[in-house]
Amino acid sequence: MIEPDSRDALVRYRMQQAKDTIEEAQLLFEHDKLRAAANRIYYGMFYALLALGNQFQFATSKHGQLIGWFNREFIKTRRIDRKYGKYLKEAFEVRSQGDYDAFIEFSKENIEARLERMREFIAAIELCIKGANPPMNNEEHDR
């Protein structure tokens, strides 16, 4: 178990890492490095999830375990709008395609939209960490 002071430092570090990754993804996007931008978009979200996990004393480096925990503890319980679960799933799939599939091309529009979702996701996770839940879209919440 991580001591509270160490945990707080780790949470801050991971959130800063997520925010720094927004800048990296933006630079890659601006230089038409769309596959690399897709990778950084996912990893920015992953770093934010690591921060959230640390805040709630859940530690793993395994992507599937962390995403499963997030879905179970925050999406299914509606502690956070489920659109963020969709954003994360899509980012993971796009990153995997870009990393492992041959002849994959991404459009600027697609990556630009994902970059905006990444910013929104990281902001929502930061609110969750600070103890506030982001506002829920009732229409989507009730589906």
Per-residue pLDDT tens over the stretch 103-134: 888 999 999 999 999 999 999 999 999 985 54
Closest CA to 112 of 86, 94, 139, 137: 94
**d(C-alpha 104, C-alpha 118), whole Å:** 21
101: phi then psi, degrees, rounded to nearest 5: -85, 150
Q: Domains of the chain by range and CATH?
A: 4-129 (1.20.120.330)
| AA letter at 143 | R
Q: What is the pLDDT along the chain (143 residues), one digit of tens a residue?
A: 455 578 899 999 999 999 999 999 999 999 999 999 999 999 999 999 999 999 999 988 899 999 999 999 999 999 999 999 999 999 999 999 988 888 888 999 999 999 999 999 999 999 999 985 544 543 443 33
Please tell me whether residue 86 adopts helix, strand or coil conformation.
Answer: helix
Q: Which of 46, 62, 73, 54 is nearest to 11 (CA)?
A: 54
CA dist list (Å): 64 to 50, 71, 85: 12, 10, 13
For residues 97 and 20, the answer to whether their CB atoms sit within 8 Å is no
Q: How far apart are CA 135 and CA 126, in angstroms?
A: 13
